[in-house]
Amino acid sequence: MIEIEAPGRLLLGLVTGVLFGFFLQKGGVSKYAVITGQFLLRDFTMMKMMMTAIIVGGAGAYAMHSMGWVNLTIKPMLMGGVIIGALVFGVAMTVLGYCPGTAVAACAEGRKDALMGVLGMIAGAVVYAEMFPWLKSTVLALPDEGKITLPGVTGMPWWIYFAVLAAGAWLLFRWIGRKGYDHGGEA
């Protein structure tokens, strides 16, 4: 039997997901030209959106964490899994033109290629599960550095990171704008 979580929690997930999908679609990242355009360094929509979300979301999450309201959930730094997985992911994201979340959003826009991508992802999960024992003894057997954070490694307080990120992002996007590299919104 398939396990099902409590209805209240499922409803909460649905509400969160609806807003997530709404913001992704309005932000424009459910389009092939925007995602692939980012990797061609011609459309900086995705990077602007992600950096803003990271700074706003992160500063809030850390502030709430310091008040004891929320727990942080840090994923382990698997030297093999994260690096090799992300390199594969980057290739795939450029070919498909969507990431897992934005592929679902693109399906909602009636994009058939995104639907094929979603079917591919389900097939990919089956392949992954079959290959898991082998992966565990190879790529995933490489060192696991554990659930480490940048403030944990450097000892510098969290707010410095967000201040530097915000200043860096502002300068970077201003420079990109002045140079005329960003053709976002044209596609």
The values of phi and psi at residue 3, to 5°, are -70, 145
CB of 180 to other proteins, least distance (A): 14
CB of 69 to other proteins, least distance (A): 7
Q: Kindly give, in sequence order, each residue whose CB lies less than 8 Å from that of residue 10, ignoring residues fewer than 6 positions away.
A: 4
Q: Hey, how many other C-beta atoms are within 10 angstroms of the C-beta on 29?
A: 21
Q: Is 48 helix (H, G, I), strand (E, B) or coil?
A: helix
Q: Which two tokens stand for residue 141?
A: 């057997």
Dihedral (Cα; 49, 15, 107, 183), 10-degree rounding = -20
Taking the least distance from each CB to other proteins, the nearer of 86 and 171 is 86
Distance CA 111, CA 105 (A): 9
CB of 29 to other proteins, least distance (A): 8
CB of 123 to other proteins, least distance (A): 5
Taking the least distance from each CB to other proteins, the nearer of 120 and 167 is 120
